[in-house]
Structure 1
């Protein structure tokens, strides 16, 4: 093991590791997560060298981070750090794995918005929307509720993506709303490029909204203006509070869409494909509680059937 390498600052090693292994290999949004972790290393452990990384010093870094972050966020932070540290171990820059048996702590979780609504609550919300002849966030909310699109996918829709004849919405890309300049970008994964079927009423409503909008321009992104998901979330919070239902986020409407489909008996592969998940495992993990509930209902049906034989 090189004496000079082993004494380099951990923050310097991590910065170099990002440039070497992550730049150009991951999406910009993912790269920013690694860069954010680097900011925290510079804040929490600016003087820690590689040869000083052991279980105690590593745990101390996690503990400091946990003072102001929830456990799941700390776990994500740990995973980002560990990826680089394991490469350092493999390269013999660190003698032993300092992340082994790390204890993941975290501060008390904040009050979160509901993850999804039930059918009655969703119906109340959709009846509250003000749907006139002009493009608005109310139309955007209806679109996500009926399709389960991701926020960035819905923003990227253009008139040419609306196929009235086949009642299909083509998802080909997403909108980089986190960048002040905006612009189209690739979807989250290859499976996210898909065709989402919808009812005839919504498809004709969308077609009417598109009148006068250039076929290659986003329907919901005004020319030269930046959009924020907080704008839609604030509007949703206002509506939910007014009608007395749990406050939901725009991403929560995507979860609502998937949950209601599962409760209606739509298969996991079909829901997975509709959501643009990379595989059904993602769907199963995300909606495990619903799947388990449905399995219990299926068991009761089996027992009722067997009792009749």
Structure 2
């Protein structure tokens, strides 16, 4: 039931009602979980702060308290989730001035990050050490993600009908609700609906592997009753260890796929389409370090070409 909100009401209760009205049913369940986590933090950090008390200093103290236990990027995400509700409260006259103006985002020192992607030799070594049997197993899942750059939930939702062996393409049009009760869900965004070109080796292997399977049923989900990301990551971890290469996650295979394409000279636009990014900006932000490295190589090539001119 929607209750009338007054400026002397608690901010955490206003925010909880705001999430219920504006976010539930409008965003993906995994994103809604993040908003619900923000609600819990508000009840912990500022349980008695009223809407009318939320000024710049109060808001900065909230951000500082959250930042004591989180890295800067996580704190930035926390701030962005709050800001939408706060600006609505300002528009409604519940808060006099925008308390988020000129906020300083802090955070814990980031931990040393594990490698996010493999180089070409390391990926080749990994693929050679996979146990690619004559029936579907999780090693085939790892192989296909490495070859396509698909998201974890996209690969889980694959059915034999998604493969077009004559055109050497794989259609991505849905995801699998592995965090919930199972079943198909829409893709992350409109751009995620796409066709991925496959190499001939993958086409030959999967044409034999799935030829007798039901056309419209996801085949990877049959391997376990309840699927956990950690289960497949554990298999990949052990294979990386056995292969004597850096350990990465399934999502790291997606980074690996994109990185190798960029180093091979594939355009950012093509990589963005293949990964199903909403825009090239996402690709540029995610792989900025690689793009900068490639730009440095381009400069060397330009200088070399110019020096050879008469």
Fold agreement, TM-score > 0.5: yes
Partner of 1:263: 263
**Which SS does the other structure have where 2:6 is aligned?**
helix
Partner Cα distance (1:13, 1:153) in 2: 36
Partner of 2:97: 96
2:14 corresponds to 1:13: yes
Partner of 1:77: 78
Question: Structure 1 residue 194: deviation in Å?
Answer: 0.5
Question: Structure 1 residue 24: deviation in Å?
Answer: 2.4
Q: Deviations over 1:253-280 (max 9, x none)?
A: 0011001001101111111111111111
Moved over 4 A (4+): none
- Identify which range, 213-222 or 17-26, moves more after superposition: 17-26
Partner Cα distance (1:228, 1:206) in 2: 24
Partner of 1:234: 234
Partner of 2:199: 199
Question: Structure 1 residue 20: deviation in Å?
Answer: 2.1
2:153 corresponds to 1:132: no
Contact 1:272–1:280 (Cα < 8 Å) also in 2? yes
2:234 corresponds to 1:220: no
Question: Structure 1 residue 25: deviation in Å?
Answer: 2.0
2:174 corresponds to 1:173: yes
Contact 1:113–1:249 (Cα < 8 Å) also in 2? no
Partner of 1:155: 156
The two structures have a TM-score, normalised by structure 2, of 0.94
Unaligned runs of at least 5 residues, structure 2? none
Q: Deviations over 1:186-226 (max 9, x none)?
A: 00011111100011111221222213321111110017822
Partner Cα distance (1:48, 1:289) in 2: 42
Q: Deviations over 1:20-65 (max 9, x none)?
A: 2212222222222212211111122111111111122212222222
Partner of 2:182: 182
Contact 2:137–2:223 (Cα < 8 Å) also in 1? no
- Identify which range, 154-163 or 60-69, moves more after superposition: 60-69
Partner of 2:276: 276
Question: Structure 1 residue 73: deviation in Å?
Answer: 0.7
**Which SS does the other structure have where 1:240 is aligned?**
helix
Q: How does 1:242-261 map to 2 (within 5 A)?
A: 242-261=242-261
Partner of 1:29: 30
Unaligned runs of at least 5 residues, structure 1? none
Question: Structure 1 residue 145: deviation in Å?
Answer: 0.5
Contact 1:277–1:283 (Cα < 8 Å) also in 2? yes
Q: How does 1:106-125 map to 2 (within 5 A)?
A: 106-125=107-126
Partner Cα distance (1:9, 1:208) in 2: 61
Partner of 1:67: 68
Change (3 A) 1:254 1:199: same
Question: Structure 1 residue 103: deviation in Å?
Answer: 2.0
Number of aligned residues = 306
